Amino acid sequence: MVLHDLDTFSKKYKQLLDRELKHLVEELNAPSIIKESMIYSLEAGGKRIRPLLLFATLDAFGAAPENGLAAAAAVEMIHTYSLIHDDLPSMDNDDLRRGKPTNHKVFGDAIATLAGDALLTYSFEVINKIPNDAAAPSVKLNVIIEMAKAAGAEGMVGGQVADMEGEEKTLTLEELEYIHIHKTGKLLRFSVLAGAILAGASQSQIDNLSQFAHHLGLAFQIQDDILDLTGNQQMLGKPVGSDTANHKSTYPQLLSLDGAQAALQKHIVQAKGYLAETGLNTNLLLEITDLVATRNH
Contact positions vs its own copies (CB under 8 A): 28-31, 33-35, 38, 81, 85, 88-91, 108-111, 113-114, 116-118, 120-122, 124-125, 128, 136-138, 140-141, 144-145, 147-149, 151-154, 157-158, 160-162, 164-165
Residue 259 carries which side chain, given as an amino acid letter? G
Q: State in angstroms the smallest separation of the CB of 86 from its own copies.
A: 10
- Quote the Cα angle for 90-225-289, to 5°: 115
Nearer to its own copies, 102 or 113 (CB): 113
Rounded to 5 degrees, what are φ and ψ at 273?
Answer: -60, -45
Residues forming beta bridges with residue 97, ordered by sequence position: 100
Helix (H) or strand (E) holding 96: strand 96-97
The DSSP-derived string for 140-186 is HHHHHHHHHHHHSTTTHHHHHHHHHHTTTSPPPHHHHHHHHIIIIIH
For residues 124 and 277, which CB has a smaller minimum distance to its own copies in the complex? 124
Residue 197 is classified by DSSP as: H
d(CA 50, CA 56): 10
Task: CB nearer to its own copies: give 139 or 291.
Answer: 139
Classify 282 in phi/psi space as left (phi over 0), alpha (psi -120 to 50) or beta: alpha
Helix 283-294 to helix 6-26 angle (10° resolution) is 90
Backbone dihedral angles phi then psi of residue 209, each to the nearest 5 degrees: -70, -35
What are the residues facing 96 on neighbouring strands? 101
Of residues 35 and 272, the one with the C-beta less far from its own copies: 35
For residue 125, what are the CA distances in angstroms to 75, 202, 254, 277, 288?
12, 26, 42, 34, 29
Closest CB 73 distance from its own copies, rounded Å: 14
**From residue 171, how far is each of 79, 174, 176, 225 by CA, in Å?**
25, 8, 6, 14
